[in-house]
């Protein structure tokens, strides 16, 4: 895969994820929930780029945050999913499971390219 294509795919999936998460949170009807994305080194993880789904309440009342382990997801040309090579799990599957548990509602994100 060409580097330019990889960058385009990764940018597209981040935009799609942000847009779909905003819709999910709007559908919950809880204005105290918010999605943020920033492309910067996070001091708590030392990772570049990070997502936070924030429930803006006092610390003692905050909902559990989604915690994803650090895994590398590679793009699969076969089905258009970002997959973890050790168990073939897609990023969409992982996010759907974790977000559904955390938000206590069914979440069905599809992060495949729209092209």
Query: pLDDT digits over 23-75, tens only?
Result: 998 998 888 887 777 665 545 554 444 444 443 444 444 444 444 556 788 88
Q: What is residue 58's predicted lDDT score, i.e. its pLDDT? A: 42
* Total residue count of the chain as it appears in this document: 115
Q: What is residue 69's predicted lDDT score, i.e. its pLDDT? A: 57
Kindly report the three-state secondary structure assignment for every residue of the chain. CCHHHHHHHHHHHHHHHHHHHHHHHHHHCCCCEEEEEEEEECCCCCCEEEEEEEECCCHHHCCCCCCCCCCCEEECCCCCCEEECCCCCEHHHHHHHHHHHHHCCCCCCCCCCCC
**pTM of this prediction?**
0.69
Bigger pLDDT: 16 or 36? 16
Q: What is residue 108's predicted lDDT score, i.e. its pLDDT? A: 93
Query: pLDDT digits over 73-111, tens only?
Result: 888 989 999 888 899 999 899 889 988 988 889 999 988
Q: What is residue 114's predicted lDDT score, i.e. its pLDDT? A: 78
């Amino acid at each position: 895969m060409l580097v330019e294509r990889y960058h385009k795919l990764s940018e597209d999936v981040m935009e799609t994820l942000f847009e779909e998460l905003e819709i999910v949170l709007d559908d919950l009807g809880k204005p105290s929930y918010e999605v943020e994305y920033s492309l910067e080194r996070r001091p708590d993880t030392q990772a570049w780029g990070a997502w936070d789904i924030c429930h803006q309440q006092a610390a003692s009342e905050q909902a559990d945050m989604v915690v994803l382990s650090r895994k590398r997801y590679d793009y699969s040309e076969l089905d258009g999913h970002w997959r973890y090579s050790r168990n073939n799990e897609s990023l969409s599957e992982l996010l759907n499971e974790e977000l559904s548990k955390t938000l206590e509602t069914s979440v069905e994100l599809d992060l495949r390219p729209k092209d």
